[in-house]
Amino acid sequence: MTQTAVTRAMLMLVAMLAAAAVAFGCLVNPPPATRGGVAADDAAARGATLFESHCAGCHTEQDAVQYLRTAPNLDGGRRSLSALLEGHGDSSAGEDTAIVDYLVARARD
C-alpha cells in the first residue's frame, strides 16, 4: 500500500466513525426540534389551563391577546403584560410566566 492509500483508508475510517457517532447521538438523544415541540405543546396546554382558572372569570382570551397586540411589538407586549400581572389576579409569578408565554404564542398566530 502506498502512503496515499493508507491516508485515504484512515480518512474513510474517521468519516465512518463520525457518521456512526452522529447516528448514535440521534438515537440516544432525539433532535432538539422534536423535544422542543413536545415541551412547547406541554407549556401551551399548561398556560391555557392556568388562563382558564385564573383569568377567564373576568377576561376572554381574545381580550388578553388584543392587549398584547396593542404594544408596538410582542416583546414590549410581553414585558408590559408581565409587569401588569405582578399586581393583578391571584396567580403566582411562575403561573404568570406560563400564562404570558401562552398568550404571546396566541398573539403570534
Give the interface with ligand HEC as residue ranges (CB under 6 A).
54-55, 57-59, 64, 67, 81, 84-85, 88-89, 91, 99
Give the shortest CB-29-to-ligand HEC separation in angstroms: 36
Dihedral of CA atoms 55, 57, 63, 65 in degrees, nearest 10, equals 30
Query: 68 is written with which cell numbers?
Result: 398584547
Q: Is 64 left (phi over 0), alpha (psi -120 to 50) or beta?
A: alpha
* Closest CB to ligand HEC among residues 31, 57: 57
In the complex, least distance from residue 26 CB atom to ligand HEC, rounded to whole angstroms: 39
